[in-house]
Chains A and B, each alone.
Chain A
Amino acid sequence: MSDSLEKYVGKLPMAIMKKLREETKDLKAAEARKVADNVLEQFLKNQAEPGEAVGIIAAQSIGEPGTQMTMRTFHYAGVAELAVPQGLPRLIEIVDLRREPKMPIMEIHLQDDIKSDEDKVISFAENMENVDMKELASIEEDFVNKRIIVVFNEKSLNEHGISLDDAVKKTEKEVRRKAKNKEGNQMMFEPGFSTLRSLRRFAARLNKIKLCGIDGIHKAVVLPEEDGSGWFIKTEGTNLKAVLEREGVLPSSVQSNNIREIEEVLGIEAARNAIIREAKMVLDDQGLKVNPRHVMLVADVMTYNGKTQSIGRQGVSGAKTSVFARAAFEETVKHLHNASIQGTKDELKGITENIIVGQPIPVGTGLVKLGMK
């Protein structure tokens, strides 16, 4: 069956081959080949020609609609549950590869047995939320006796699923001190500081102890699944690694908008996909119709060497081989001086260099040359 299309393997991409096989499975071998021939012809026709300035075209194709975006984005008033930067600011964030986005967000889908039960999902979400000590206990400073009294709120402890014992132990571990006078939900610290200032600082530290949840996740909201099959969790703050390790989470469905984090946890291919997904989401939100291949090219450029690179001086532009091209972009003197110290030779293979020097650029009609026999 499949051998009728055997000769197309390698000429057509795997995805197209798969679709082709599916669509032609009811056809005779000769007919299937005819279809495949047409597909191949179309495929070749739609490929970029050698010497096509793909990068410039991608830049213009994203940049031109982007100008309209700037004007409409800034005063976006909506009833979104989390204020995610949208439009140009977010696009810049993606392309610049910020270590942490302005609003890191995760989407967590759960295993089937949990997700249909709203209460279970809610408690799951609450367990995930990173809660400060100050939300679970009241901390009183007794300046006269130079001590601090912590009173846990048992009700809130319960809500977040931690026992009093655990809370006390965790606190003691965090401050590396034994508490005294443990009575019911109360405990007391006598750190033995002489100054009030250090006592206050100690109290502030107590306030900030994270008693439960996953590090970095500040808020978790439960939302209904689009297909009505249950509920999922959206979080403010990301921690991909810890979330993936949690029991009950459907690991393949977890999404984060922190590209750097995805690269660290899941690798470069996932980072590339994340860039494409995030950038496309921005453009779609704005109602801009940009061919995804342009976005994919950007993502490819940002990831092709196995590590993510930002677009700009620190990344792609700074990694250009040509001294002239780098000098033309930013930090001119720095690049020229370093080149002279190292005795760099500019091969004049790129576009910018050749424009500077006054030669035809190696793109389009400038790529071909006439040779003598």
Chain B
Amino acid sequence: MVESSIYLNGKLIGFHSKPKGLVENIRTKRRSGEMPAELNVAYYEDLDEVYINTDAGRARRPVVIVENGKPKLTPKHISDLKSGKMSWDELIQQGVVEFLDAEEEENAFIAIDEQSLTPEHTHMEAHPSLILGVVTSVSPFPNHNSAPRITMASAMLKQALGVYQSNFNVRMDTQSHIMHYTQKPISVTNHAKIIGVTRRPAGQNLVVAIMPYYGYNMEDAIILNKASIERGVGQTTFFRTYSAEERRYPGGQKDRFEYPNAEIQGFRGEDAYKFLGEDGIIVPEVVVKGGDVIIGKTSPPRFLEEVGELSMIEEKRRENSVTLRRGEHGTIDRVMLTEATTGNKLVKVKVRSQSVPEVGDKFATRHGQKGVVGMIVPQHDMPFTADGVVPDIIMNPHAVPSRMTVGHVLEIIGGKAASMTGGDVNATAFEPVTYEHMKEVLKEYGFRPSGKEVMYNGVTGERMEAEIFIGVTYYQKLKHLVANKIHARSRGPVQILTRQPTEGRAREGGLRFGEMERDTLIGHGASMLLLERLLKESDAVVELVCGKCGTIAVDDQIRKKQYCPVCESTDVWPVEMSYAFKLLLNEMKALNIEPKIVLEDKA
């Protein structure tokens, strides 16, 4: 008879004739405490192999053990746990709960809740919402939302600005945001409380009205109340850390933090260094703007020239200061002097700037309902309810039906009810709907159970014909701020090699007119426009070309002579071409190909 192989931590350790009995035995021993609780065992029937795993690094999760269709967890256990008579570890020791790893899960038949238990089940989930991951379990009412929106909500939750670490003040992260006046969400899941996101939240509970506003909230845009912003809605602080190191170079030379001397190469002028202290480093609480020097640093010359004994040519040191990024501004928050791992002197300067919400900043709820600020409206132009409540945010109604985010609607109603009672809403997935309860609360406080209210146009004062759905939702400000993205260029820096415009916002670059864009202009036959895009606004140069031999000619400005370096002819002509083409000619020469340009009269 073929015996099944037994693997311990991936290694074959032996054979067994009754694998099922063996596995069963191991499991009962583990539950009784005879074997370690960290051990997992799985039997693969198709392969006839038993895997026993005891090593580290397996993701495991707790489930309630079920025997004969009855969970081992009794109401007594729960009450004991609540009163503190019993601990979680004891539950494991008593064999009520066990941890399964991915392999043992293959042998388990896990019921989602107590109602669906059958005698075949081996385990039961502690709560059906455990099918969700850590991040998703934070989003409220996910069982009422469509799956794609939950995915988006989970992705955006990670981009929300809040208080990411309570020691943010002393940390020197390269980039960080801190939200002022964060609030814990009114609609909150049990998981969120356990994980701790309610203790360090990232967002605020805002009053939302779902209605259009003069077309300024089309395409998922949102309207912000200016007075709300002034009260602290969406206010964040942005920190950026700049750093510099005194690097050592071969030959015993090194960088120096100092107040740069006027002698050095690339000196920016006395005025540029006005914020620096004697040590060449800026001091805290100085207000700086883009281009200002933060750390004064000089470097040794790039190329060491051989210095003759008598000659006094001493190569000047180079200016190599760190400046604030272009387009940014702020206050110096913190300066740190320390030593790098290399042993060199290291300076870090943290700059702080407040970002007030502005048109273009991204906001989102925890239902994947994201949008960009379309307009900031003064409070007196915002719609108001009969009670005089003015919303903080106006969201467009078109955002809801096609996305099927019912959870969002529930959160608005629940938030409204709970903000009256002062409690919170249990928004855990698969918990029984509390809508009936919310309705009762709303009625009690004189609201309509539907969440709709009569509202008045803030501009004209007229009563609006439609009743507006209004309530309280948790809004997150996401890290995509326009201030850090806005970019335009008319003239600017070019690359040294090709003389074409640089790429990217950080380098003040141009926007690429790519191959497909090129195709569209060809398709339109817009020849001259294409020439302008690709040549005139990019790397156009006028080069001299020899009319006799077709090589690029020389313009000797000292001798006031234009001639061909190959055939020495003075029959040279100016030709407009792209610098990239001139470079191509040069590169071809390096390939041992001699390109020649044949000139012809313009027809």
Contacts and interface: CB of A to CB of B under 8 A. Distances in A.
Interface stretch (A68-76, A91-99, A194-202, A361-369): A361-369
B307 interface: no
A19 B470 CA distance: 67
A333 B592 CA distance: 11
Given A60-B519, A345-B598, A363 B593 contact: no
Given A337-B591, A371-B603, A356 B525 contact: no
Contact of A336 (B523, B576, B578, B588): B588
A364 B540 contact: no
A363 B526 CA distance: 8
> Which of the listed residues A56, A59, A339, A362 has the most CB atoms from chain B within 10 Å of its own CB?
A56
Interface in A322-355: 333, 336-337, 339-340, 345, 351, 355
Contacts of A53: 522-525
A334 to B, nearest CB: 11
Interface stretch (B262-270, B328-336, B528-536): B528-536
A357 interface: yes
Nearest to B536: A358
Nearest to B577: A358
Interface residues of B, number: 27
Interface string B569-600: 00000001110010010001001111000100
A359 B519 contact: no
Given A56-B519, A336-B593, A345-B598, A356 B528 contact: no
Nearest to B597: A357
B522 A351 contact: yes
B518 interface: yes
Contacts of B592: 340
Contacts of B591: 333, 336-337, 340
Contacts, number: 76
B515 to A, nearest CB: 10
Nearest to B531: A360
A355 B534 contact: yes
Nearest to A366: B527
A339 B592 CA distance: 12
A318 to B, nearest CB: 19
Contacts of B526: 364-365
A66 to B, nearest CB: 13
A361 B530 contact: yes
A367 B531 CA distance: 13
Contact of B530 (A52, A57, A340, A355): A355
A355 B530 CA distance: 9
A323 to B, nearest CB: 10
Contacts of B531: 358-361, 366
Contacts of B581: 356-358
Contacts of A52: 525
B519 A356 contact: no
A363 B578 contact: no
Nearest to B575: A358
Nearest to B584: A356
Contacts of A358: 531, 534-535, 540, 576-578, 581
| Most chain A C-beta atoms within 10 Å of own C-beta, residue among B519, B540, B591, B592 | B519
Contacts of A356: 578, 581, 584
A51 B522 CA distance: 10
Contact of A360 (B524, B528, B540, B588): B528
Contact of A363 (B525, B540, B576): B525
Interface residues of A, number: 29
A363 B522 contact: yes
B522 A361 contact: yes
A56 B522 contact: yes
A345 B600 CA distance: 14
With a 10 A CB-CB cut-off, give which of A336, A345, A359 has the most chain B CB atoms: A359
Interface in A3-35: none
A84 to B, nearest CB: 31
B48 to A, nearest CB: 33
Contact of B524 (A339, A345, A364): A364
Nearest to A327: B584
A363 B527 contact: yes
A51 B525 contact: yes
A365 B535 contact: no
Contact of A357 (B522, B577, B588): B577
Nearest to B588: A336
Contacts of A371: 603
B86 to A, nearest CB: 51
Contacts of B534: 355, 358
A372 to B, nearest CB: 9
The residue in B523, B528, B581 that gathers the most chain A C-beta atoms within 10 A of its C-beta is: B523
Contacts of A369: 603
A355 B527 CA distance: 10
A19 to B, nearest CB: 31
Interface string B34-63: 000000000000000000000000000000
A359 B527 CA distance: 9
A150 B344 CA distance: 87
Interface in A293-335: 333
Interface in A209-258: none
Given A355-B534, A358-B577, A340 B594 contact: yes
B524 to A, nearest CB: 7
A57 B535 CA distance: 23
Contacts of A345: 598
B523 A56 contact: yes
Interface string A36-64: 00000000000000011100110110000
A26 to B, nearest CB: 43
Contacts of B594: 340
Interface in B13-45: none
B523 A366 contact: no
Contacts of A351: 522
A362 B591 CA distance: 30
A134 to B, nearest CB: 32
User: Which 7 A-B pairs have CB atoms at the shortest separation, nearest pair first?
Assistant: A364-B525, A366-B527, A340-B593, A358-B578, A358-B577, A56-B523, A358-B535
29 contacts: A52-B525, A53-B522, A56-B522, A59-B519, A336-B591, A337-B591, A355-B530, A355-B534, A356-B578, A356-B581, A357-B577, A358-B531, A358-B577, A360-B527, A360-B528, A360-B530, A360-B531, A361-B522, A361-B527, A363-B525, A364-B522, A364-B525, A364-B526, A364-B527, A365-B528, A366-B525, A367-B525, A367-B527, A369-B603
Given A333-B591, A337-B593, A360-B527, 13 more contacts: A59-B519, A60-B519, A60-B520, A336-B588, A336-B591, A355-B534, A356-B578, A357-B578, A358-B534, A364-B525, A365-B525, A366-B525, A366-B530
